[in-house]
Amino acid sequence: MNRLRLLAFPASAVLLIIAQPPAGDEPRDADKAAAATIKAADLKKDLSYIASDELEGRATGSQGQWLAGEFLAKRFEELKLEKGGDGDSYHQKVDFTPRKKKKDADDAPASGPAAKPTTKPAPVEVSNVVGILRGTDASLGAIVFSAHYDHLGRGRADEKGDTIYNGADDDGSGTVSVLALAKAYSSRRDKPKRTIVFACFTGEEIGGLGSKAYVTTPKVPLEKTLCDINLEMMGRSFGIGEKRAWVTGWDVTTLGPILAKGGKAAGIEIYPDPYPEQMYYYRSDNMAFVSKNVIGQTVSAGSNHPQYHKPSDEVGLIEFDNLEAIVRAVYFGSARIADGQDEPKLTGDSLELKAAPRKKKPESAPAK
Ligand SMILES: [Zn+2]
């Protein structure tokens, strides 16, 4: 999740549409078996590497992020996904010019006293990591799962002297969820009807660099892309309680209610973004798709926590059993789309978020 950049929003408000899943939404046995491959232990194992100190916070253009990208590509290869990057590769190169570091009050992680020397950063490849699972019916188009695997790198020390911004929740949690979904779909007995693109984006924290590059040169044409289901900060239940997840831009399309049907199957309540004043709809990689008139929305959970963009966003705070259930919910909901049972559609005439922020502050839950 990046900092709030977009402040303008239309004033007209629309009523919330509450998901009312009809009867008969029980997943098929093949889907139950696929969802069962999504395991807390695997999510933990993957995240323990992605968010380890060894990767130094995965700043875009850093060695740590490069290592993370290699790890993701290797996992896609193990799952035998089609290479969705440049040439015969999972890596889609993204143009990146390391910016000169300067004093900036709004840029604490990059300019703190403990920041690494910034002269001549070694050039490393900056890329999205993209794998594709072809569906059985090309005419039905594709869906994208996305998460950003970059984070803030090293920066200003916190009160414990920690200088590594591990980004376990932001967005290590979404990244390992994409891996788990890739495993679930590719291990399913029958292939999905729609093509599925698994995209781990770079550069989200510095303005959505990777997702913007993806929508400029997508491997599956955007006209054939039904939606981007972006996964961001799903590893905590802070402030909302367990077995719950929310979707940004709920009022704009029917994607949220479709995912909520899948939530029911996994014992997860999926509901509208409870923090409209934060404008989260506009603050992640889903926006790159929206900017190209493709449905793009973010699934998140207890992301409004005190460790947001702090070195203390660490693996130890991630609730893996809860994350497992949320990823299974996303699986069940998305499978409805992947198999052509449901199709997300606009509820109004544009992808612009029309709901005015509610004044009421969200309820705060006991601190974890
Ligand atoms: Zn972030």
Tens-digit pLDDT profile for residues 107-162: 445 444 444 544 555 667 899 999 999 999 999 999 999 999 999 999 999 999 99
Q: Which pLDDT does position 290 carry in this prediction?
A: 96
Which of the four pLDDT bands, split at 50, 70 and 90, describes residue 1? confident
CA–CA separation, 245 and 303 (whole Å): 10
> Residue 12 domain-assigned?
no
Q: How far is the CA of 366 from the centre of ligand 1 (A)?
A: 23
Q: How far is the CA of 151 from the centre of ligand 1 (A)?
A: 6
Q: Provide the token pair at 267.
A: 């014992």
> Residue 325 domain-assigned?
yes
What is the number of structural domains in the chain? 1
Q: pLDDT for 237-293, tens place per residue? A: 999 999 999 999 999 999 999 999 999 999 999 999 999 888 899 999 999 999 999
> Residue 315 domain-assigned?
yes
pTM for this model (two decimals) = 0.87
> Residue 345 domain-assigned?
no
> Residue 346 domain-assigned?
no
The mean per-residue pLDDT over the stretch 211-217 comes to 97
CB 291 within 8 A of CB 215: yes
Q: How far is the CA of 212 from the centre of ligand 1 (A)?
A: 16
Task: Give the pairing of strands 91-93 and 127-133.
Answer: antiparallel
> Residue 109 domain-assigned?
no
CA–CA separation, 125 and 93 (whole Å): 7
Domain that holds residue 179: 29-96+121-338
Q: How far is the CA of 194 from the centre of ligand 1 (A)?
A: 30
> Residue 355 domain-assigned?
no
> How many CA atoms lie within 13 Å of 258's alpha carbon, on the beta-carbon side?
23
> Residue 11 domain-assigned?
no
CATH, residue 333: 3.40.630.10
CB 79 within 8 A of CB 183: yes
Angle between helices 40-50 and 63-78 (to 10 degrees): 150
Sign of CA dihedral 108, 113, 114, 118: positive
